[in-house]
Structure 1
């Protein structure tokens, strides 16, 4: 009899959970309740996965359309959602490398369907793949991303492609260089434009603690000087639990 009562109690508990799960399927507001019933987070999982992904160099084996991209897939999915919501006319990328991410931006923008241009800048194009060079909607420029010539080209493209701008900084990851890039963009970005400062996970945020001052510290230094320029898009940054750009998702005020 005791065994039968225990079995009945287990069936009742399972039935209750299934009813709640069925309700959750139709009501996304209850996802927190779902996690409480079926999963107990320690709070460290995102940071541990970030460390695993970075330290195992998985990012060096990540491609878009066969072209090396060196990104987090979580970030790339997040970025395409931002692009679709923002519908920019100009995408600015500092740090081209192989060109995979530049082609990714163009691929997403073509699906959005409005006139646009992708400007991708790097100090050297030695790594740039021929397949990326062939994309008709990407302008690759070999230059320091902090040069006055790049600022002037952005001004020209803003005139040719009026509308919102989405910019991502992923070139030299030293504090001074990233800070120079942010200052270069300061008079070029307008209210509502979006800026992502990548690789702010370096220098112990949470990886590569030996790196030295990098993008994260550049953001902090910029905000000490210009505290009212940006609003951090924290919900977007935290959406997938971890990012190569912690504290680096920002909307121009």
Structure 2
């Protein structure tokens, strides 16, 4: 090896070492203040970027960080039944179905909404999704879930994203109470409203429903705070719940 080659190696090594040292110093000295996630949450929500988000062309009104989190949960839990209250355009139901198709276990997605007027045909065409037009708190929905549990035994992943009032969400949680078993996963979405930290004038909503439910049934769920905190902000604060 000639002297020039040795020199080039030495220069490149010095540059690499300097980058490592500078990076380490930056990580040490540039620490977050603790408000970044909340401020980004407010920006994300108040700019309505979430209602311009699509999954394979179908509208999916979610936080993209939450959706990534959900696919990790689905892969880990491998549910045989996914229950979604609040279909909207059907983008999230389609997302869940596509993830589960890749996971490769037999499953069904049950998506319930009070109206199907907004459903996208691309979502309704998926054979693994069952869309039901109904209020999510009708006793008939509990009966249908019982039937599906027999057809698709195993874990359940349930997500509440319909009417964001406290009373409605609390009724949904109580409807699911006898239907979920230990290890099942419940997501209560939009607990961010009413000042948690967005839409402070909303009034009691999903967050307050979770707190009321917890006061009445304190031993039902464990809060999955590791998942909740993973990406710095979520539309479901206090709403990542594992059935005990």
TM-score surpassing 0.5?
Answer: yes
**Per-residue deviation, residues 139-196 of structure 1 (Å, max 9, x unmatched):** 0000000010000000000010000000000000000000000000000000000000
Displacement after TM superposition at 1:18 (Å): 1.2
- Structure 1 residue aligned with 2:9: none
State the Cα RMSD in Å: 1.8
Q: Distance in 2 between matches of 1:174 and 1:190?
A: 25
Aligned counterpart for 2:189 among listed residues 191, 198, 204: 198
Q: Could you say which residue in structure 1 is the equivalent of 2:20?
A: 18
- The match for 1:93 among 84, 88, 91 is 84
Residue 113 (1) aligns with residue 104 (2): yes
Deviations 1:68-106 (A, max 9, x none): 000000000000000000000000000000000000000
Listed one character per residue, the Cα deviations across residues 201-249 of structure 1 (whole Å, up to 9, x for unaligned) are: 0000000000000000000000110000000000100000000000000
Give me the whole-angstrom Cα distance separating, in 2, the residues matched to 1:40 and 1:71.
Answer: 28
User: Which stretches in structure 1 are left out of the alignment for 5+ residues?
Assistant: 1-11, 22-32
Gaps of 5+ in 2: 1-13
CA distance in 1, matches of 2:61, 2:89: 9
Alignment of 1:4-43 (within 5 A): 15=17, 18=20, 36-37=27-28, 39-43=30-34
User: Do structure 1's residue 75 and structure 2's residue 77 form an aligned pair?
Assistant: no
Q: Which runs of 4+ in 1 moved over 6 A?
A: none
Give 1:183-222 correspondences, 5 Å limit. 183-222=174-213
Q: How far does the alpha carbon of each residue in 1:22-58 deviate from its partner, in whole angstroms, 9 at most, with x for none?
A: xxxxxxxxxxx78742632111000000000000000
Verify: 1:246 aligned to 2:240, yes or no. Answer: no
1:147 aligns with 2:149: no
Separation (CA, whole Å) in 2 of partners of 1:35 and 1:157: 53
Q: Aligned partners of 1:143, 1:49: CA distance in 2, in Å?
A: 35
The two structures have a TM-score, normalised by structure 2, of 0.91
- Please list the CA deviations of residues 124-152 of structure 1 after superposition, one character each: whole Å capped at 9, or x if unmatched: 00110111110110000000000100000
What does residue 147 of structure 2 align with? Answer: 156
Shift in CA distance, 35/149, structure 1 to aligned 2, threshold 3 Å: farther
- Residue 121 of structure 1 aligns to a residue in which SS? strand
